[in-house]
Amino acid sequence: MKQLKCIIVDDEYGAIEILESYVSKVPWLSLEASFSDPLEAMNHLSHQKIDLLFLDINMPDLDGLQLARLIQAQGTPIIFCTAYPQHALESYEVEALDYLLKPIPFERFLSAINKLKPAGGPRDADIPQTEILASQLFIKSGSQIHQIDIDDISMIQKDGHYIVLKLPGREILSRMTFNQLLDLLPGDSFIQVHRSYVVALNKIQTIQKQFIQIDGKEVPIGDAYKDAFFKQVKYIGN
């Protein structure tokens, strides 16, 4: 799997160390450099092509939003990492991939980088094998990070403050919400059928009025989700 080259730009060394640690845990990210001086980073970016930029906002001489506007034509995906929520709207103007608020939990970091998918046009050539990357998820469970294939997920069950991903021969427990995970999954392949269940459409075996049979388990169809579910399911016959 090809690694994506990234750099970190932040005037706080502690923040750089945290992001460096996070990047080191992801096999398909390669840290090319870290900069505490945004002008040095700007010089680097003018000579080197990278695949992902982690960027602080409040910095001396050149803030992160100004830097983002200066390099916007390059099409480099940017993840802002800042302690200030008030700049979130401006981040959309430079088409940021995500906006992370410090202190950044590792789960939130993973959620952001998992959004890195083919965007079409020239970027397809800049990031080879992104289709392979886009079919994988890195899920934190306890002290471990699991790489899973999205196609292996049959269903996701809510269990208190956790979710349980059902995979062939195993289950993964993670402290995430349905909404966080659904943001990372292809919308035409997964659907929520109950407040406690999300299912993969291609893993459904049979459908009854109130239940879905999947992996030999009966999954209830909640009244609040029934209309949307049957609109998405295509079937033939009487």
Q: Work out the pLDDT band at 236, boundaries 50, 70, 90.
A: low
Query: Looking at 35-44, 50-59, 64-73, 107-116, which range is the least confident one?
Result: 107-116
Residue 55's pLDDT is what?
97
Peptide bond just before 77 cis, omega within 30 deg = no
Q: Work out the pLDDT band at 32, boundaries 50, 70, 90.
A: very high
Q: What is the pLDDT of residues 98-149, one digit of tens each?
A: 999 988 988 889 888 988 843 333 333 333 322 333 576 777 787 777 778 8
Q: What percent of the chain has pLDDT over 90?
A: 43
Q: For residue 142, give its domain range.
A: 136-232
In a domain, 154, yes or no: yes
Q: What is the pLDDT of residues 70-88, one digit of tens each?
A: 998 888 999 999 988 888 8
In a domain, 237, yes or no: no
Q: Pick the residue with more confidence: 212 or 91?
A: 212
- CATH code at 173? 2.40.50.1020
In a domain, 124, yes or no: yes
Q: Choose the final residue of a domain: 116, 133, 150.
A: 133
Same domain, 15 and 107: yes
C-alpha torsion 43→49→53→58, nearest 10: 20
**pTM here?**
0.54
What is the Cα–Cα distance from 139 to 163, expressed in whole angstroms? 11
Same domain, 141 and 104: no
Residue 133's pLDDT is what?
39
Strand, coil or helix: what is 105? Answer: coil
- CATH code at 61? 3.40.50.2300
- The H or E element containing residue 211 is strand 211-214
Same domain, 124 and 153: no
Same domain, 14 and 56: yes
The phi, psi pair for 100, rounded to 5°, reads -105, 135
How many CA atoms lie less than 13 Å away from 220 in the CB half-sphere? Answer: 6
What is the Cα–Cα distance from 139 to 50, expressed in whole angstroms? 25
Same domain, 82 and 190: no
Name the domain count of the chain. 2
In a domain, 238, yes or no: no
Which CB contacts under 8 angstroms, 24+ apart, belong to 85-89? Answer: 87/57
Does position 166 have pLDDT exceeding 80, yes or no? yes
